[in-house]
């Protein structure tokens, strides 16, 4: 059974709500008329506005070449029900297979770039490569989020977080205490 979330645009400056907790993400890319997807855990919010994300992608990964050459990718947030897909994507290489087909995922048209979104994910952030200065030494891309969409409901997705050695952590309960924060620290 395929399930897609109903989504709405969200401000690019607000993506920290979904990325800062540290979930495993799926990165989709497009180059030379081929699509690809990778599983990624080494990422970091860098700035609200412009909305910047840093991420480390091993250079011998096929996605590294595709993102570097095309200058684009989509950061997609999968939910816990997609765990088998997340692992399968991490275990295979786009050099040999079409991962959208293999994992029965739907490539959706992006608003601002040619790389496709993954429709089954909870959210997607369309990105351009904004800075390559850290690529040679650290394989670290600095991405700018150009457009962002997220599911309208639920407000907070059940995400998966990787601990290494084949062990994932699922996001747990929320602790909301906005009254304890000074407005400038939210």
* Interface contacts to a copy of itself, rule CB under 8 A: 14, 16-18, 20-23, 41-47, 52, 54-56, 80, 83-84, 87, 90-91, 131, 133-134, 137-138, 140, 142, 156, 160-182, 185-186
Q: How far is the CB of 115 from a copy of itself (least distance, A)?
A: 22
Q: How far is the CB of 19 from a copy of itself (least distance, A)?
A: 9
- Write the CA distances from 99 to 48, 88, 146, integer angstroms: 31, 9, 24
Do 57 and 139 touch, CB atoms closer than 8 A? yes
Q: How far is the CB of 123 from a copy of itself (least distance, A)?
A: 13
Strand partners, 38: 27
Q: How far is the CB of 84 from a copy of itself (least distance, A)?
A: 8
Shortest CA distance to 127 belongs to which of 173, 177, 74?
A: 74
Peptide bond before 154: cis, by omega within 30 degrees of 0?
A: yes
Tokens 């495993």 belong to residue:
24
Q: How far is the CB of 33 from a copy of itself (least distance, A)?
A: 27
**Complex with a copy of itself: residue 83 or 129, whichever CB lies closer:** 83
In whole angstroms, what is the distance from residue 87 CA to residue 65 CA? 21
DSSP assigned state of 49:
T
**Complex with a copy of itself: residue 96 or 182, whichever CB lies closer:** 182
DSSP assigned state of 50:
T
Tokens 């602790």 belong to residue:
175
């Amino acid at each position: 059974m395929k399930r897609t979330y109903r989504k709405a645009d969200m401000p690019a400056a607000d993506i920290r709500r979904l990325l800062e907790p540290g979930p495993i993400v799926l990165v989709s890319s497009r180059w030379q008329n081929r699509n690809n997807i990778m599983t990624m855990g080494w990422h970091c919010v860098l700035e609200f506005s412009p909305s910047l994300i840093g991420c480390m992608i091993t250079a011998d990964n096929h996605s590294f070449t595709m993102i570097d050459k095309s200058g684009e990718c989509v950061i997609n947030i999968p939910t816990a029900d997609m765990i088998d897909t997340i692992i399968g994507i991490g275990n295979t290489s786009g050099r040999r297979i079409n991962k959208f087909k293999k994992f029965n995922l739907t490539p959706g048209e992006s608003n601002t770039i040619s790389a496709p979104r993954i429709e089954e994910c909870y959210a997607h952030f369309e990105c351009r490569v904004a800075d390559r200065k850290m690529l040679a030494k650290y394989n670290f891309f600095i991405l700018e989020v150009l457009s962002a969409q997220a599911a309208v409901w639920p407000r907070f997705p059940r995400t998966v977080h990787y601990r290494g050695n084949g062990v994932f952590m699922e996001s747990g309960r929320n602790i909301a205490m906005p009254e304890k924060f000074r407005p400038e620290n939210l």
